[in-house]
C-alpha cells in the first residue's frame, strides 16, 4: 500500500482545504519544494500535487512552484499532478517538465473525447480523478454534482486505457473522519485497473483498514491534512502499511 503525501498549491503556497472550499485554506508551508523534500525524507515513494488555482481557472497557475518541486525531487520518485489540465499541449508540457502522471478530473467527465485522446497520446501516464458524493460524480471543484454513477464512469475510463483512478469521497475530504472504505472497495472490485483512495484519512487506523482490503485492487492512499497537522506520522504509517502488505 502506497501512501502518497498531498501537496496542494494555492498562490504558490502549500495549503489544505476543507471539502474543496478555496476560502477555507490553511497554509502549511510557503516553500513547497522544501515540503516535497521533507516527505521524501519521511519515506514517500510518490507525491501528489494539486494546482488548486488551476483547478478553478481551467489552466495551470502554480507552474513556478511545481517546477521548483520537480527540480528538488529530480528522478528520485514519481510525481503526479492534477488541477486545470484541459488539453493535450498542457499534458505534454507537464510530462516534459518531469511529471510522471497527469490527473484529469472535471475534463474527463465533461469532455470524454479529450480523455480518450490523452490516453492514446500518452499511454501509461494518465490518471483520472473521480470525486463523488453518495455514488454520484462531482465536477468543477466539487461545486456541481452530476447524474453520473461513479462505477459506470470508472468502467468507461478503464476501457479508454487510464492508468488508475483516484477516488475521493468529497463529503470526507479534509475532515479527518475516516475513508469511505465501502465505496472505495465497491469501485475497486468493479474495475481491473488500480484505485487510489483519497479523502478523510485521519489516523493509522484508516491505513490498517485500507491495507485489509488492498487485495481488492486498492493501490494506494493519498493523505493530506492528517500528516500536516501531526495526527498521522507519515514514516510510521508507511512502515506499518509495508508490514501489513508483507513488504
**Residues forming the active site:** 8, 131
Three-class SS state of 103: strand
CB 50 within 8 A of CB 14: no
Class of residue 75 by CB neighbours under 10 A (exposed 0-12, middle 13-18, buried 19+) = exposed
Dihedral pair phi/psi, residue 72, rounded to 5°? -70, -40
- Cβ count near 150 (within 10 Å): 24
Cα–Cα distances (Å) from 218 to 136, 140, 206, in that order, read 20, 25, 13
- Cβ count near 13 (within 10 Å): 18
Distance CA 179, CA 173 (A): 9
Dihedral pair phi/psi, residue 135, rounded to 5°? 85, -5
Amino acid at each position: 500500500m502506497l501512501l502518497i503525501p498531498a501537496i496542494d498549491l494555492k498562490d504558490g503556497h502549500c495549503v489544505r482545504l476543507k471539502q474543496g472550499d478555496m476560502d477555507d485554506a490553511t497554509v502549511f508551508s510557503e516553500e513547497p519544494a522544501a515540503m516535497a523534500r521533507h516527505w521524501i525524507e519521511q519515506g514517500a515513494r510518490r507525491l501528489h500535487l494539486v494546482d488548486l488555482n488551476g483547478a478553478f481557472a481551467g489552466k495551470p497557475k502554480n507552474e513556478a512552484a511545481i517546477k521548483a518541486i520537480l527540480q528538488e525531487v529530480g528522478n528520485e520518485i514519481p510525481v503526479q499532478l492534477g488541477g486545470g489540465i484541459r488539453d493535450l499541449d498542457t499534458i505534454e508540457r507537464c510530462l516534459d517538465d518531469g511529471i510522471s502522471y497527469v490527473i484529469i478530473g472535471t475534463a474527463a467527465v465533461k469532455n470524454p473525447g479529450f480523455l480518450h485522446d490523452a490516453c492514446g497520446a500518452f499511454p501509461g501516464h494518465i490518471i483520472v480523478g473521480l470525486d463523488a458524493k453518495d455514488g454520484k460524480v462531482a465536477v468543477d471543484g466539487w461545486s456541481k454534482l452530476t447524474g453520473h454513477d461513479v462505477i459506470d464512469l470508472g468502467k468507461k475510463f478503464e476501457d479508454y486505457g487510464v492508468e488508475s483512478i483516484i477516488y475521493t469521497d468529497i463529503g470526507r475530504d479534509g475532515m479527518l473522519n475516516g475513508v469511505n472504505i465501502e465505496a472505495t472497495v465497491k469501485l475497486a472490485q468493479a474495475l481491473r485497473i488500480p484505485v487510489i483512495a483519497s479523502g478523510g484519512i485521519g489516523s493509522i487506523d484508516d491505513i490498517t483498514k485500507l491495507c485489509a482490503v488492498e487485495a481488492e485492487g486498492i493501490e494506494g492512499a493519498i493523505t493530506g491534512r492528517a500528516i500536516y497537522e501531526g495526527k498521522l506520522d507519515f514514516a510510521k504509517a508507511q512502515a506499518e502499511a509495508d508490514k501489513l502488505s508483507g513488504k
